[in-house]
Amino acid sequence: MGRELYENFSEARETFAEASEALGEDLTKVCFSGTPEELNQTANTQPAILTTSIAAYRVLSNKFGLKPIIAAGHSLGEYSALVAAGTIPFFDAVRVVRARGNFMQSAVPVGLGTMA
């Protein structure tokens, strides 16, 4: 998840480094060489998706000059929108979505939750 961005754009590498610092662990290991089971744990999935989304946003914004006029998201995407809008710092958002993932994971045992 996000490997091509990471390999091709310094903005993406910086974003993954910032996320790793916020989490106190190397998120690139989880995203690029972790097991599917490890990545599928929502406590890992949520920061990984947020980081990849913000890496893409930063590449589009910094490298290509695309600036959004509005930002919106649903569920986890709300955090990407908040970061893109400048409402919350990315460093804090990564920590919040890790906590969110931990809470969600502890609320429903692995394999029992479904979504329609």
**Domains of the chain, start order:** 3-107 (3.40.366.10)
pLDDT digits (tens, 9 = 90+) for 16-43: 999 999 999 999 999 999 898 888 899 9
Report the 10 Å Cβ neighbour count for 57.
20
User: 24 is written with which tokens?
Assistant: 């106190």
Going from the C-alpha of 115 to that of each of 7, 33, 45, 84, 103, the distances in angstroms are 33, 27, 16, 27, 17
Structure confidence at residue 22 (pLDDT): 98
User: 71 is written with which tokens?
Assistant: 């930002």
Structure confidence at residue 26 (pLDDT): 96
Structure confidence at residue 116 (pLDDT): 55
Structure confidence at residue 2 (pLDDT): 86
Structure confidence at residue 67 (pLDDT): 87
* Spatial separation of the C-alpha atoms in residues 15 and 91, rounded to whole Å: 9
Which residues of the chain are modeled with pLDDT < 70?
109-116
Going from the C-alpha of 101 to that of each of 4, 22, 65, the distances in angstroms are 25, 15, 32
- Kindly report the pTM of this predicted structure: 0.90
Quote the radius of gyration of the chain (alpha carbons, Å). 14
Structure confidence at residue 111 (pLDDT): 66
* Spatial separation of the C-alpha atoms in residues 101 and 116, rounded to whole Å: 19
Cα 76 vs. chain centroid, distance in angstroms? 9
